[in-house]
Amino acid sequence: MAVKVKTTKPKKILVIVESPAKAKTIEKYLGPSYMVKASMGHLIDLPKSRLAIDVDNNFEPEYITVRGRAKLLKELQSDAKKSDSVMLASDNDREGEAIAWHLQNAISAKYGAIPISRISFNEITPEAIKNAVANPTIIDISKVDAQKARRVLDRLVGYNLSPLLWKKVKNGLSAGRVQSVALRLICEREQEVESFIPEEYWTLDAELKAGKGAFRAALTLWKGEKADLKKESDAQSIVEVLKNADFIVSDIRESEKSVHPRPPFTTSVLQQTAANRLGFTSKKTMQLAQQLYEGINMGSSRVGLISYMRTDSVRVSQSALAEVRAWIGKEHPGELPEKANYFSVGKSSQDAHEAIRPTYTSYTPDAVKEYLSRDQHRLYAIIWERFVSSQMKNAKTKTISADINADAALFRVAGTTLIYQGFYKVLNVLAAKEEKGQSFPPIKKGDTLVLRKFIPEQHFTQGPPRYTDASIVKTLEEKGIGRPSTYAPTISLLLERYYVQRTNKQLVPTLLGRLICNMLVENFGDVVNVDFTAKMEKGLDEVEDKETRKNWPDMIREFYTPFIEKVNEVGKNLASQKGSLDEPTDEICEKCGKPMVKKLGKYGYFLACSGFPECRNAKSIPLGKCPKCGGDVVERKRKGRGKKFYGCTNYPECDFITHFKPLSQNCPKCGCFMVEKHEKGRGTHKACINPHCDNNHTEGGERVSS
């Protein structure tokens, strides 16, 4: 009788990452001995419904399984039981370390004997993943403590200030440590914009003829001093003096300038560049970067195309430097410097990760274009160009400038040309104006030029610009507010709360945002303060730093004691401002006949019946009369991405829609409503919505003051 031999199914090593896309990429690299699963971010966190911080016991947080995630946690625990060991591969930052720590605790609590290790990597490539697996480490408790301190600090601020806003202003509002400081910066800039008084000034150019061509030279000095023309008469008086003067080239100077390549991207600079060059919001940039990092299907393989995208360092690994230098040496040997270029890391940089770079230099933007969406490709292109160019030789430009004397006036003209391409050879999307150059007229010292005409031009001094995604991120970084992972979520939160609106890429505070900002600044000015927030960020860094190892409960206690006293005091003494933003209207409720009131909701203003709660009628605010059927035109939002448009309330009988914002002004020619248009060459201007009205054309629109 044959004896059956019992065979046991070989166990696998469980690897837990954060996202399914990352899991899919890594699983292809590790092979059948590994099982890769995703935690989908945090599985264990503070509850949303209550403070959950024991303020009397060293601010100990009370963690629970995130609602809706219990099933997934149970599955991961079960997978761990079936495995020989577990490797926690969440992101290599504070949040990732906390996710790994919670998972380790949850698995160990149920199945204590399973070996659990921590692995980390800066890029998702076969080499990086296999190297991480071969060199496992343990959880970095200092990072966990820093994340815990930040979470507790933000919870104490948000869960004490937000209820105050609900009580004194309206339900559904929120305040936060970083969010409220960013709002303050935007509101203060808006005050500067509104208080700025433009001043008139004039410039005077002379159009001069040299040979067959003509060029313009700018008046620089008048009677030996800088030309300061306050009004038109100042310019005209100089024209009168110079109209019969001889224009003689008195001096020509040449100078060469070496243009250094820029360092590879950090998170904040990537967001700024993507906003300025590609028109991306910070949120969109980070979403696309996440996709490039986690992996893209390229034929039969799946590849992570860029290194980790949350970093404040410009440091690059030696292996990446060797690879990019080898590529430059092959493709552009004349532009390869003798030694690698190194860039200094900022004082406030944590330097935990490398700069953002392509994982493989050989994957040029053209080589991967067919596998990427248009926006993915554009973002990848600027990352690739910035990194490769950073390791190439300097470019050189030559500037020629000429002084032209005419009586007591000195005019000047200059031209710049690129005389050595250097790193510009690999720039396409990031090509700069220096590469295009500016021509210099064919003149030499001693030439007498022919005056064709004077060109006086009126100008007005420009006030401070409103913040954009790019400039607010730059300011937050410079002032030490937040970290690479918080810039995009902070902007998104301000927009979602209707504290700020994005208008023509500018961040403009709403009335609600300004009300909240004023209330917080007046009562908690020391908390919603740039210096305080930067100090707290530095404190969190000291908690994480293995040398300083600052005790995080002491840091929280120092802040919390005076803070909670102030919260209690303000709660008792601050007058309620509920309903302060409501406005009576002439609209009558069609259901009960009572007047309608203009109210502020989660997504902006709307009309509500003054008979609430007996009558619950509410509707969008009419912005104009439909040019097709005479119905009301109101603001609407598309599903999904939620893009705004304006449509007729008689839909589907009437299909009128427009993407231009209606203004509370009718056309003086036809009576239809005016809209706000924005065009690249012309800026923002008013035009009639009626396509048959000649006030609709761009040349007929009235400029909108910004």
Which DSSP string do the residues of 33-91 spell out, in sequence order?
Answer: TEEEEE--S-SEE--SSS--EETTTTTEE--EEPTT-HHHHHHHHHHHHTEEEEEE---
**And the tokens for 348?**
């406030």
CA geometry: angle at 519 spanning 516 and 524, to 5°? 115
**And the tokens for 364?**
């040029």
Which amino acid would we find at residue 555? M
Q: How many CB atoms lie within 10 A of CB 163?
A: 16
Q: How many CB atoms lie within 10 A of CB 535?
A: 12
Block residue for tokens 């910070």: 282
Nearest to 210 by CA among 404, 456, 398: 404
Nearest to 176 by CA among 412, 590, 489: 489
| CA diameter of the chain | 124
Nearest to 360 by CA among 281, 296, 452: 296
Q: How many CB atoms lie within 10 A of CB 254?
A: 9
Q: How many CB atoms lie within 10 A of CB 692?
A: 9
Q: Mark whether 308 is an active-site residue.
A: yes
Distance CA 544, CA 350 (A): 10
Catalytic annotation, pick one of 308, 363, 380, 605: 308
Contact 175, 502 (CB under 8 A): no
Distance CA 478, CA 498 (A): 26
Give the side-chain half-sphere CA count within 13 A for 523.
Answer: 25
Q: Distance between alpha carbon 441 and the CA centroid of its chain, in Å?
A: 42
Report whether the peptide linkage leading into residue 509 is cis, meaning its omega lies within 30 degrees of zero.
no
Contact 493, 176 (CB under 8 A): yes
Nearest to 153 by CA among 66, 64, 55, 43: 55
The alpha carbon torsion through 401, 403, 409, 411 (nearest 10 deg) reads -30
**And the tokens for 183?**
């709002």
Q: Distance between alpha carbon 219 and the CA centroid of its chain, in Å?
A: 40
Residues 6+ apart with CB under 8 A from 476: 182, 185, 268, 482, 487, 490
Block residue for tokens 């005019």: 411
Nearest to 530 by CA among 162, 94, 188, 149: 188
Find the helix or strand (DSSP H, E) in which 249 lies: strand 247-259
Distance CA 117, CA 367 (A): 37
Report whether the peptide linkage leading into residue 613 is cis, meaning its omega lies within 30 degrees of zero.
yes
Q: Distance between alpha carbon 600 and the CA centroid of its chain, in Å?
A: 27
**And the tokens for 651?**
């839909």
Q: CA 183, 185, 186, 192 torsion: positive or negative?
A: positive
Please count the residues of the chain.
706
CA-derived radius of gyration, the chain: 31
Residues 6+ apart with CB under 8 A from 23: 17, 36, 37, 38
Distance CA 216, CA 227 (A): 16
Q: How many helices (H) and strands (E) does the chain have?
A: 18, 31
Q: CA 41, 43, 44, 50 torsion: positive or negative?
A: positive
Strands, sheet with 661-666, edge to edge from the N-terminal-most edge strand: 661-666, 673-679, 683-688, 702-703
Catalytic center residues: 308
